[in-house]
Structure formats: C-alpha cells, structure tokens
Amino acid sequence: MKASLIQIIHSADRESNVDKLQKHIASAAQEGAELIILSELHNSLYFCQTEDTSNFDLAESIPGFSTTFFGELAKRYEIVLVISLFEKRTTGLYHNTAVVIEKDGSIAGKYRKMHIPDDPAYYEKFYFTPGDLEFTPIKTSVGTLGVLVCWDQWYPEAARLMALAGAEILIYPTAIGWEASDPEDEKNRQLEAWLTIQRAHAIANGIPVIAVNRVGHEADPSGVTNGITFWGNSFAVGPQGEWLRRASTEETSFLIEIDLKRSETVRRIWPFFRDRRIDTYKNITKRYID
C-alpha cells in the first residue's frame, strides 16, 4: 500500500487551509498514493489554546462541509482519505472526530477521540466530549485502519484494542508541539518520548504505525503563553518499529510504501498475542490498584 503523509502549516482561514491541502492531495495522488492522511483539526488553527465559546462556530456536522469537500477529492483521485474535524452532533455536544473517506467519496467510518487532554495550551475538555464509538477499526479498500487521534497515542490500551479488533495499521492524526518556555533538554525528551511510545505500539502489536502532525508556530490568542511550536516529525514505522520515513520540522508531504503482509511474518516470530495472560488482566479496568 502506498500512503502519503501531509504535514502543513495552518492559518486561521479555512479556505486557505483546504486549498493548500487540496494541492498536496492532488500531488500525492499523482505520485500513486492510495491512502492519504491529514493532521488533527486541519481546517483551522489549533483553537484549544484558549477556552473561547466563539470557537464552537468552527464545528460542523457529519455529513457536512469537510466530508463533502474531501469526499469529492477522494472520488476524483480514487484514494482513501483520513480527515480530522470538530464535529457538532447537536448544540452542546461536540467531538474531536476522524473520518475515513472511501475511494468513491462515501464515508467508510469515523472515530471520536477517546482520551481528551486538559493542560495549559491544550484545553480540549472545554470543547470535546470523549468518544463513544469504542476502539473499532474501519474497513476500507486499502486495508483495515485503526484510526486514533493525538492524545490517544500515549495509551497502549487503545492501540492494543484496535489491534485485537483487526486493525492492520494504526493511524494518528496529531497536533502536538512545544510551549516556547520549555528548556531545550525538556523539548528533546518530549519529542523522543512521543516517537518512542508510538514505535512501541507498532512493536507490541506487530503492525505499522503512521502519525501525521501539524507544523509551525501558532500564537496563543490570550497571550498567557508563548503559543505552541508544533514539531512536525510526522512518521511511519513498520511492525518492528523500524523507520520507514520521518519528516523534519518543515512543511512537507511524502509518499511511503507499506507492506501489510509483513505483519504476518513478524507476528510469527514474535507471537505476543499468543502469550498474553488474559486470565490475569482484570485489574486493567481499574483506575488505580490500591
């Protein structure tokens, strides 16, 4: 399977963002991409740096603008497309949602972000209700996709449940970066931790992992912080955590080739599923073991 990762700098203007994405999608399709993945909340700036009720105006329904616009692109270029949007189900009920669009422009499925952060510059609990679609892979013409979103990437339980349900690849649309006041050594630790845990998901489950992050600096509208410098570094790894491709901190898109059949070989030599002690894991559902 040929997949393309699109890592861009975002602006406050939706039309400008989708136009830029459209051009990258067209170019990736011409290069032979069958699957194209966009970053988290790609139609706008990362608005969760502040708690502002006017930002709810950015939310949209499914189906709606994004599924229609990107659905037409998926159909035109005969690609499977993973998009990310601020979903409005009804007034007062919103989600951070990834949608998978099939080659014919139809909606193959969606995933609502399950783990919602609430930290300085990442006030997502103000905007998003935790997902209610569980960890259910989405079947497409290019394979069965285990789509998760950003903060989900720190949780091995989410990756495992997607893999146990038949996901052939894990995909993480992402918006993560540094607050400018962090010292350089701390910045490096954060980035390496982010890369390492996702490579570990690939290894532990014997399947490839793709993460697509945004890039560039976005100011804090409130002025309380120095804003976020999104660190890019979008990447793909194989089922042993081996690097397939890793981006820099610049705006870019790139094509990779993923051999989904390799997971069968890897799971034969590292049969982690076989040796799981499911009879001893009941405490995993507890918040803490006192």
Q: Which of 110, 150, 168, 218 is catalytic?
A: 150
Q: Which of 40, 124, 179, 218 is catalytic?
A: 40
Give the closest residue to 152 by CA, choosing from 172, 134, 168, 166. Answer: 172
Angle at 167 (CA atoms; ends 206, 31), nearest 5 degrees: 90
Task: Decide the pairing of beta strands 143-147 and 35-37.
Answer: unpaired
Q: Catalytic: 48?
A: no
CB 239 within 8 Å of CB 262: yes
**Distance between CA 290 and CA 286 in Å, rounded?**
10
Q: Catalytic: 51?
A: no
Q: Which of 113, 124, 179, 218 is catalytic?
A: 113
CB 227 within 8 Å of CB 218: yes
Residue identified by tokens 């009920």 is 93
Angle at 147 (CA atoms; ends 78, 90), nearest 5 degrees: 95
Which helix (H) or strand (E) covers residue 182, if one does? none
The CA distances from residue 26 to 38, 126, 177, 190, 198, in Å, are 13, 35, 27, 33, 28
Task: Decide the pairing of beta strands 177-179 and 138-140.
Answer: unpaired
The CA distances from residue 46 to 25, 49, 88, 93, 226, in Å, are 21, 7, 17, 19, 14
**Distance between CA 59 and CA 130 in Å, rounded?**
15
Q: Catalytic: 139?
A: no
Catalytic residues: 40, 113, 150
